[in-house]
């Protein structure tokens, strides 16, 4: 598909669109750090009361009761924090703007949102059990919750984080596609001229861009099939890295075009 | 002579040749009636204006050195988009940084500021085994460091 911008209004529209994209990227980047600052927090100081309770006369009835109370308090905080963490992620996944035409992405969004919702329900159920725990039971509860998180919550949460990045990639890839078509048109025109360097740089750009598209598609399929989050993240990174190289080749191609048109 | 004969005579009557020629010349030389209307005047002016504009454009292009090659030149395209391409490349770099952020770091860590209490009161002082587990291991003397949900659960399981 060939495309050429000639109307001033069209040029302005494209410029504005790209400026908005860059700003959105910066905002997203900043928001990611802001989110970390606003997440649930635990510090060593929160364990001071527990250490104090454990520091009394060993085996005394009062000591056990005090330690258990502190442990339950901490477990409640951990579960509340886990619920907040899952809810925040679920909200971010739900707010992703995905076009109705992208059925597969819509499906991934629904799946991830459902899984995070199930995790929230699980946490709620676990929280209701904390009141009945004994000292050993509270330790087992903590160990079980940690195991469950590692086996169930974390893969889904990582996939959700990967999906958020993947959705952001689609806008970038769309703009890269337009750029690819635009420069490709110029390169086609220059085939009539002797431009070996142009064709060589452009060939690299084509190869890298195709690889970026392929890895992007692969990431979507991994997310769709509940594949390991490490795999989807690797595919996303690989796609972006290929896209980055593609842009470098765009610069090289344009430079070669300039050189061909203005030989010194 | 009855009426029938009279009618037969009328059939053979012809106009005078000179009269006929004069009459025909008169008709043919009469100018057609010109209908003057506002629309007609407007159209005529538009036609004239368009012709002048087209002529002006042709003169401008000829004198101004119009070049089709220049118009479709890839150089033109490259120059125009250099800034945009750079912005797009930067957007990709930002996205790569986002992808590189560790999930754990972005969702479950934090900062505290009450380090001195911890150091003073004790879990890391070695008097309590539980204290060692809660404060000493991860802390390594820096009690202000944040810990994740899973680290908290790990400590609470001991």
Per-residue pLDDT of B71-101, as tens digits, reads: 455 445 545 567 888 889 999 998 888 888 7
Q: Is the pLDDT of residue A240 over 90?
A: yes
CB B112 within 8 A of CB A45: yes
CB contact under 8 Å between A145 and B73, yes or no, is no
Q: Which residues contact A99 (CB under 8 A, 6 or more apart)?
A: none
**Nearest Cα to Cα of residue A161 among A92, A114, A238, A105:** A92
Q: Look at the block and give the residue holding tokens 């996303």.
A: A236
* The residue count for chain B: 158
* Cβ contacts of A241 on chain B, cutoff 8 Å: 96
Q: Is the pLDDT of residue B4 over 90?
A: no
pLDDT in tens, A144-174: 999 999 999 999 999 999 999 999 999 999 9
**Predicted local confidence at residue A151, as pLDDT:** 94
What percent of chain A is helix, strand and coil (3-state, nearest 5)?
85, 0, 15
In a domain, A30, yes or no: no
In a domain, A80, yes or no: yes
Cβ of A122: how many Cβ atoms within 10 Å? 19
Residue B47, min C-alpha distance to chain A (Å)? 27
CB contact under 8 Å between A186 and B147, yes or no, is no
Q: Which residues contact A158 (CB under 8 A, 6 or more apart)?
A: A229, A230, A233, B103
**Predicted local confidence at residue A52, as pLDDT:** 78
Neighbour-count burial of A258, counting CB atoms closer than 10 A to its CB (0-12 exposed, 13-18 middle, 19+ buried): middle
Cα–Cα distance for residue pair B132/B9, rounded to 1 Å: 149
Q: What is the dihedral of CA A213, A216, A222, A226, to 10 degrees?
A: -150
CB contact under 8 Å between A254 and B135, yes or no, is no
* Cβ contacts of B115 on chain A, cutoff 8 Å: 43-45
In a domain, A27, yes or no: no
Based on DSSP, count helices (H) and strands (E) in chain A, helices before strands.
8, 1
Q: Is the pLDDT of residue A59 over 60?
A: no
- Which domain, by its residues, includes A143? 47-261
Q: Which residues contact A127 (CB under 8 A, 6 or more apart)?
A: A76, A79, A80, A83
* Cβ contacts of B113 on chain A, cutoff 8 Å: 43
* Cβ contacts of B153 on chain A, cutoff 8 Å: 78, 142-143, 145-146, 149
In a domain, A1, yes or no: no
* Cβ contacts of B136 on chain A, cutoff 8 Å: none
What are the DSSP E strand ranges found in A20-110? Answer: 42-43
CB A76 within 8 A of CB A124: no
Question: Which secondary structure element, helix H or strand E, spans residue A203, and what is its range?
Answer: helix A196-224
**Predicted local confidence at residue B63, as pLDDT:** 59
**Nearest Cα to Cα of residue A127 among A117, A138, A135:** A138
CB contact under 8 Å between B130 and A40, yes or no, is no
Count how many domains chain A has.
Answer: 1
Q: Minimal Cα distance from A253: which residue of B? A: B78
Cβ of A199: how many Cβ atoms within 10 Å? 15
Cα–Cα distance for residue pair A171/A178, rounded to 1 Å: 11
* The residue count for chain A: 264
CB contact under 8 Å between B77 and A248, yes or no, is no
pLDDT in tens, A184-228: 888 887 775 657 888 889 999 999 999 999 999 999 999 999 999
The phi, psi pair for B147, rounded to 5°, reads -130, 150
Q: Which of A15, A44, A154 sits opposite B145 (nearest CB)?
A: A44
Instruction: Tell me, letter by letter, the H, E, C secondary structure of A158-192.
Output: HHHHHHHHHHHHHHHHHHHHHHHHHHHHHHHHHHH
**Nearest Cα to Cα of residue A173 among A223, A202, A208:** A208
In a domain, A36, yes or no: no
Q: Which of A45, A168, A258 sits opposite B117 (nearest CB)?
A: A45
Q: What is the dihedral of CA A141, A142, A143, A149, to 10 degrees?
A: 100
CB contact under 8 Å between B156 and A139, yes or no, is yes
Q: Which of B118, B145, B153 sits opposite A78 (nearest CB)?
A: B153
B84 Cβ under 8 Å from any chain A Cβ: yes
Average pLDDT value for residue range B29-40: 78
**Predicted local confidence at residue B134, as pLDDT:** 32
Cα–Cα distance for residue pair B116/B85, rounded to 1 Å: 51
State what percent of residues in chain A have pLDDT above 70. 80
Neighbour-count burial of B108, counting CB atoms closer than 10 A to its CB (0-12 exposed, 13-18 middle, 19+ buried): buried
Q: How many CB pairs under 8 A join A and B?
A: 222
CB contact under 8 Å between B152 and A74, yes or no, is yes
Longest dimension (CA), chain A: 93
In a domain, A93, yes or no: yes
Q: What radius of gyration do chain B's Cα atoms show?
A: 52
In a domain, A228, yes or no: yes
CB B136 within 8 A of CB B126: yes
In a domain, A125, yes or no: yes
Q: Is the pLDDT of residue A6 over 60?
A: no
B140 Cβ under 8 Å from any chain A Cβ: no
Determine the 3-state secondary structure of A85 from DSSP: helix
* Cβ contacts of B150 on chain A, cutoff 8 Å: 146, 149-150
């Amino acid at each position: 598909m060939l495309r050429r911008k000639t109307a001033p209004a069209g040029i302005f529209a494209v410029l504005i669109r790209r400026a908005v994209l860059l700003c959105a990227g910066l905002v997203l980047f900043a928001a990611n750090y802001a989110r970390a600052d606003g997440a649930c927090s635990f510090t060593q100081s929160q364990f001071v009361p527990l250490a104090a309770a454990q520091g009394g006369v060993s085996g005394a009835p009062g000591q056990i009761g005090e330690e258990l109370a502190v442990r339950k308090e901490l477990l409640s905080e951990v579960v509340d924090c886990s619920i907040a963490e899952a809810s925040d992620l679920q909200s971010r996944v739900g707010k992703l703007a995905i076009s109705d035409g992208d059925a597969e992405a819509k499906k991934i969004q629904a799946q991830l949102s459902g899984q995070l919702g199930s995790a929230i329900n699980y946490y709620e159920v676990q929280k209701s059990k904390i009141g009945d725990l004994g000292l050993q039971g509270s330790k087992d509860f903590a160990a079980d919750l940690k195991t469950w998180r590692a086996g169930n919550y974390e893969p889904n949460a990582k996939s959700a984080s990967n999906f958020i990045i993947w959705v952001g990639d689609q806008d970038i890839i769309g703009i890269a596609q337009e750029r690819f078509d635009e420069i490709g048109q110029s390169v086609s025109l220059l085939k009539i001229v002797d431009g070996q360097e142009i064709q060589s740089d452009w060939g690299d750009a084509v190869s890298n861009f195709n690889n970026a598209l392929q890895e992007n598609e692969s990431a979507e399929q991994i997310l769709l099939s509940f594949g390991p989050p490490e795999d989807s993240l690797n595919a996303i990174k690989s796609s972006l890295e290929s896209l980055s190289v593609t842009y470098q080749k765009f610069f090289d191609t344009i430079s070669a075009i300039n050189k061909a048109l203005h030989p010194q | 002579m009855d009426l029938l004969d009279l009618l037969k005579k009328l059939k053979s009557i012809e106009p005078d040749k000179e009269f006929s020629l004069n009459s025909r010349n008169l008709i043919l030389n009469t100018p057609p009636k010109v209908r003057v209307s506002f629309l007609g005047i407007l159209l005529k002016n538009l036609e004239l204006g368009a012709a002048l504009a087209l002529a002006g454009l042709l003169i401008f292009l000829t004198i101004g050195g119009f070049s089709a090659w220049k118009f479709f030149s890839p150089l033109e395209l490259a120059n125009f988009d250099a800034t945009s391409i750079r912005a797009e490349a930067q957007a990709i770099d930002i996205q790569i940084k986002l992808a590189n952020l560790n999930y754990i770091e972005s969702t479950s860590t934090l900062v505290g500021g009450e380090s001195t209490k911890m150091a003073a009161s004790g879990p890391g002082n070695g008097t309590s085994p539980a204290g060692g587990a809660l404060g000493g291991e991860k802390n390594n003397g820096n009690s202000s460091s944040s810990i994740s949900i899973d680290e908290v659960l790990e400590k609470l399981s001991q």
